[in-house]
């Protein structure tokens, strides 16, 4: 009898399903200890908690919805919905919100509305989209970052990830104004942030009156000309998302350029330094969250390019997530709430360095979900 060789993807499929099972178990345990709260960074095995206005507060309900979508676990649904409702404190009381309302309400309210059709969630998401649109500076064609008076003309690469809230709002209301703002900001980012080699500035400052570009700042990167690794991941994923909503080829090309820069500079173990151009030093800050975000962005990109290129980006994402899974996850530590280790929030300010961070968990789980979904295309 002729031996039948196993399908080359069968081992990969097994790994995917086993890892997804671990994520489900981990998130169920996290839900027991975190509940309807705002986790951010983990120390000594436990996530700290933030206030209701903190920019990462959408990632925890987003993670819960990722798992609920498959398991229909009512405990996860309740915790996600209650966390979202707790953010009403800052959404409805004229609190000085910021540019990251996309992160906060896309992953919570838009997710719940798409899954369950809750009108309260739609209202919250539309309110947040209006806040974000209100931050647009027509002279410079950018969405303002932060609220400090001295930063009135600042924009940041991170905001590319908030634009889907505006694209969704236009689709939901049939009003193109939200989409126009998103595209104008994306065009400014393409022109003023991305370098020819695919790296990106973190902060670009404009004259808020004339819109004229003034300077770039290092921000969370090493210096103005450096390459903050999570900033590159924001560029990959953010440009791919704008391409998905608009079909604009320029955004696809930008995402590809940043993807190639990220992969070319990535260490063999998949764990990037906080800045690709920072001088190497013993014990320096690393950032697994950059790799998890980049992998999810690469998978988004794989759906936008011709079939001759698609497999390349898919395989790069799968390889990256497997490396993180093998070396930088907390599966074997029952005392650690988090999933992904070695994240860094802000190395220049020495804020949460080489610790688990909630958006690392979210992007890791999101990438696994995408891998499971897209895998069948190559089966």
Q: Active-site positions?
A: 100, 158
106 touches 138 (CB < 8 A): no
What 3-state DSSP class applies to 330? coil
Task: Report the alpha-carbon distance of residue 105 to residue 107 in Å, rounded.
Answer: 5
Q: What angle do CA 178, 202, 106 make, to 5 degrees?
A: 35
- C-beta pairs of 312-321 under 8 Å, 24+ apart in sequence: 313/259, 314/371, 314/374, 314/377, 314/378, 316/259, 316/263, 317/367, 317/370, 317/371, 318/12, 318/371, 319/270, 320/266, 320/270, 320/291, 320/294, 320/295, 321/292, 321/295, 321/364, 321/367, 321/368, 321/371
Neighbours of 35 (CB within 10 A): 14
364 touches 356 (CB < 8 A): no
Task: Report the alpha-carbon distance of residue 139 to residue 185 in Å, rounded.
Answer: 11
């Amino acid at each position: 009898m002729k031996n039948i060789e196993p399908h080359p993807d069968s081992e990969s499929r097994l790994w995917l399903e086993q890892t997804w099972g671990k994520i489900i178990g981990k998130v169920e345990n996290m839900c027991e200890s975190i509940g309807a709260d705002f986790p951010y960074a983990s120390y000594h095995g436990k996530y700290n908690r933030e206030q209701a206005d903190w920019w990462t507060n959408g990632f925890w309900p987003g993670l819960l919805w990722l798992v609920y979508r498959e398991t229909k676990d009512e405990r996860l649904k309740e915790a996600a919905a209650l966390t979202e409702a707790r953010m009403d404190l800052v959404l409805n009381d004229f609190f000085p919100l910021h540019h990251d309302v996309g992160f906060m309400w896309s992953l919570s309210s838009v997710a719940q509305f798409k899954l369950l059709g809750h009108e309260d969630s739609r209202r919250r998401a539309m309110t947040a989209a209006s806040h974000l649109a209100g931050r647009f500076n027509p002279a410079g064609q950018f969405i303002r970052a932060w609220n400090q008076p001295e930063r009135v003309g600042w924009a940041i690469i991170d905001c590319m990830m908030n634009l889907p809230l505006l694209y969704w709002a236009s689709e939901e209301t049939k009003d193109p104004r939200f989409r126009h703002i998103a595209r104008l900001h994306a065009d400014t980012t393409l022109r003023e942030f991305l370098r020819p080699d695919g790296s990106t500035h973190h902060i670009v400052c404009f004259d808020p009156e004339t819109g004229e570009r003034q300077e770039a700042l290092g921000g969370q990167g090493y210096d103005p000309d450096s390459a903050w690794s999570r900033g590159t991941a924001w560029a990959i994923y953010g440009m791919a998302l704008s391409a998905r909503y608009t079909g604009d080829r320029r955004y696809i090309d930008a995402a590809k350029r940043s993807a190639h820069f990220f992969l070319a500079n990535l260490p063999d173990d998949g764990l990037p330094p906080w800045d690709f151009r920072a001088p190497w030093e013993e014990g320096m800050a690393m950032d697994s969250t950059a790799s998890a975000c980049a992998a999810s962005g690469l998978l988004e990109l794989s759906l936008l390019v011709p079939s001759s290129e698609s497999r390349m980006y898919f395989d790069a994402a799968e390889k990256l997530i497997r490396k993180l899974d093998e070396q930088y996850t907390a599966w074997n530590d029952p005392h650690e709430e988090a999933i992904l280790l070695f994240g860094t929030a802000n190395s220049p300010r020495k804020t949460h360095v080489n610790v688990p961070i909630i958006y690392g968990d979210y992007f890791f789980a999101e990438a696994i979900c995408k891998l499971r979904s897209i895998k069948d295309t190559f089966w």
